Amino acid sequence: MTQFSDLGLAGSLLRALTHEGYTTPTPIQQQAIGPLLAKHDLLGIAQTGTGKTAAFALPILHHLLAEDTRPAPKAVRCLVLAPTRELALQITESFKAYGRFAKFHVACVLGGVAQGPQRQALARGVDVLVATPGRLLDHMSQGSVRLDHTHYVVLDEADHMLDLGFIVPIRQIVARLPKTRQTMFFSATMPKEIASLAADMLHNPVKVAVTPEATTVERVTQEVFLIEGAKKTQLLLELLQRPGVKRSIVFTRTKRGADRVAGYLDAAGLDAQAIHGNKSQGQRQRALDSFKSGQTPVLVATDIAARGIDVDGVTHVVNFELPEVPESYVHRIGRTARAGKDGAAWSLCDNSERHLLRDIEKVTRQTLATDDRRSPATRNAPEPAKEDARRPRQQQGRPQQGRPAGNRGGAPGGNRGGAPGNRGGGAPGGPNARPRRPERTKYENRGNAGA
């Protein structure tokens, strides 16, 4: 069996890997590290959770150590572009961990936080800069960073860059890079626009594909519930209260929907927090930290979290609403069954989403549901339990002080118990939904996750 010590990495990197408890490389690390150490460009087709960050970070740090030079003021020796803040922070922490026994200057620039500290970090030059495209362009326009000394470039989650509308900004950034460089390009799927971008950025690349494009995680048990939209919230609560559901991520299509679902679960006595692009970076980080620590067992998220959150021990992913981009389904359910563990993915599908389900089946090359509903992976949702029976013990009968119920702001729903009914519609985002007042948040400057 191949060990990291067999790959020819610098001693300080091997020491850091031992400190992290890593001995055996993953398949993508085995296939990518060798060509990257030989300074080939690389095109990697890999899902999240395959270990691709180490696959590019270790060879880059090896080369930077061998060059033994300091960056010029405002210069960047290695640039890593990531689509979301959460992924950028995760990559930054990985570079710091792998380089802990060497004197690397690693910086991260992203939106949602003050630019002043970022300019200070860039002023003396950095060995590794991890950035979201929008904020990097801001610094470039202000003259606080220069890319003419950047000889190692990574584009991570390229297909998610496309989803977020970052292709034009990326091309603007690439135009400022030296022609002679080593480029690493990673994507879980390869739509035409991404294939074109890869062709423009890469020179005779080595291609590494550890899984077929757009396949779903093998260790995830997938199940579809066919259900009326108005009954989704009740079913969601019942699913999350099942034995064995320890830590779960619930996905919605919209920011408002995430707030409404989180509010519904919280009002029903199940701790939940929402994370999406309208939350400040501080709010997002606090919600993520609470989820990682186990204090909050449920994180309700838009697709901003589908790739940028790497949390151990996520037992279940719930697609409260199916994604409009079928490839996003792959990345959503990839939040569970990580590091060799098993996981489950539940999808709640109403009639208006059946076409989205068919699109997902085409992309994943799986049959998740059939028109006659006899697929073993699909079941008709059970009838929700009676209201008093399904509500947590502390909410049965008369509402307790400090916990509003029914029409006065509890779970979105009917006249008295908070269950979806005549006045609520139940499903967040429905035409008659009556959500709790959402937290007032400040919109980001560029209006998307990675700015």
Domain 4-209: what homologous superfamily? P-loop containing nucleotide triphosphate hydrolases (3.40.50.300)
Average pLDDT (9-19) is: 96
How many other CB atoms are there within 10 angstroms of residue 324's CB atom? 13
Q: Which residues contact 416 (CB under 8 A, 6 or more apart)?
A: 405, 406, 407
- Tell me which of 334 and 81 has the higher pLDDT: 81
User: In the prediction, which pLDDT does 217 show?
Assistant: 62
The pair of three-digit structure tokens given for residue 91, joined into one six-digit string: 């990559």
User: In the prediction, which pLDDT does 278 show?
Assistant: 86
Q: What angle do CA 165, 209, 127 make, to 5 degrees?
A: 65
Please determine, for residue 448, whether its predicted confidence score (pLDDT) is greater than 60.
no
In this prediction the pTM is: 0.63
Q: What angle do CA 375, 257, 335 make, to 5 degrees?
A: 55
User: In the prediction, which pLDDT does 32 show?
Assistant: 96
**pLDDT digit string, tens, across residues 225-242:** 999 999 999 999 999 999
Tell me what the pLDDT averaged over the chain comes to. Answer: 82
User: In the prediction, which pLDDT does 308 show?
Assistant: 63
- pLDDT band, very low/low/confident/very high, at 369 (cuts 50, 70, 90): low
User: In the prediction, which pLDDT does 105 show?
Assistant: 97
**pLDDT digit string, tens, across residues 198-221:** 999 999 999 998 865 555 567 889
- How many CA atoms lie less than 13 Å away from 113 in the CB half-sphere? 19
**pLDDT digit string, tens, across residues 268-307:** 999 999 998 888 878 888 998 899 899 999 999 998 765 6
- pLDDT band, very low/low/confident/very high, at 446 (cuts 50, 70, 90): very low
Decide whether 4-209 matches 220-408 in CATH topology. Answer: yes
User: In the prediction, which pLDDT does 385 show?
Assistant: 47
Please determine, for residue 412, whether its predicted confidence score (pLDDT) is greater than 60.
no
Please answer whether residues 125 and 74 qualify as being in contact, where contact means their C-beta atoms are separated by less than 8 angstroms: yes
Question: What's 5's DSSP letter?
Answer: G
User: In the prediction, which pLDDT does 330 show?
Assistant: 83
Rounded CA separation 94/427 (Å): 39
Q: What angle do CA 175, 181, 183 make, to 5 degrees?
A: 85
**pLDDT digit string, tens, across residues 138-173:** 999 999 999 999 999 999 999 889 878 899 999 999
Please determine, for residue 425, whether its predicted confidence score (pLDDT) is greater than 90.
no
The pair of three-digit structure tokens given for residue 148, joined into one six-digit string: 């003419």
Closest CA to 378 of 366, 390, 370: 370
User: In the prediction, which pLDDT does 51 show?
Assistant: 86
Please determine, for residue 392, whether its predicted confidence score (pLDDT) is greater than 90.
no
CATH number of 220-408: 3.40.50.300
Please determine, for residue 108, whether its predicted confidence score (pLDDT) is greater than 90.
yes
User: In the prediction, which pLDDT does 381 show?
Assistant: 53
Domain layout of the chain by residue ranges: 4-209, 220-408
Encoded amino acid at 124, one letter: R
- Tell me which of 373 and 172 has the higher pLDDT: 172
**pLDDT digit string, tens, across residues 176-199:** 999 999 999 999 888 899 999 999
User: In the prediction, which pLDDT does 331 show?
Assistant: 81
User: In the prediction, which pLDDT does 244 show?
Assistant: 93
User: In the prediction, which pLDDT does 422 show?
Assistant: 39
- pLDDT band, very low/low/confident/very high, at 46 (cuts 50, 70, 90): confident
- pLDDT band, very low/low/confident/very high, at 394 (cuts 50, 70, 90): very low
